[in-house]
Structure 1
Amino acid sequence: MKVKYIGPDIGVDGLFNNGIYEVVEVDELTGLLRIIDESGEDYLYSPIKPKSVAGEYKGGYFEIIEDDNNTLSVVIKCNP
């Protein structure tokens, strides 16, 4: 599964505008996306308004690039 992040860059090694990222899974407990970001590590991001945990960066949104069995379309319901 892959998504494209649209929005302001999140940190120096988080999500970058127009970056395409692999989604490892949708967390069953939280509904958050586990994404391998620019750090090379996997972190949880909101499927609706992804932003940094500390909240110092405004969030953006995801566009679905590849979706296995409509897994992402269930949690990413709409974009702005």
Structure 2
Amino acid sequence: MKLKYVGESFGVDSLTNGRVYECLGLEYPGLLRIVDDSGEDYLYSPINPRPMDGSAPGGRWEIVEDDAENTLSRVINTSVRTN
């Protein structure tokens, strides 16, 4: 699964605007496990990925490649509707 981050870039090894990232899957409670610029995997929000310390406003995900079960579409679209 692949997602493109759209928003303000933050951190040296976090997320960069316009870059495509690999999503390894979902983690409880509804977070995405993303391989970010550090090359390591970390948990990010499906609706407003941003730094935990609130130092940047974050952004959003655009789905580039989903799995056969449309996991990303379901999680991102459900999260957007409930917030």
TM-score exceeds 0.5: yes
Deviation at 1:6, TM superposition (A): 0.1
The TM-score with structure 1 as length reference comes to 0.92
Partner residue in 2 for 1:44: 43
Structure 1 spans left out of the alignment, 5+ residues: none
Q: Secondary structure at the match of 2:72?
A: helix
Q: Quick check: which one's helix share is greater?
A: 2
Partner residue in 2 for 1:60: 59
The Cα RMSD (Å) is: 0.8
- State the Cα deviation string for residues 33-62 of structure 1 (Å, max 9, x = none): 000000000000000010011110111000
Q: Secondary structure at the match of 1:54?
A: coil
The runs of 4+ residues in structure 1 deviating greater than 4 Å are none
Using the aligned pairs only, state the percent identity: 56
Size of the alignment, in residue pairs? 77
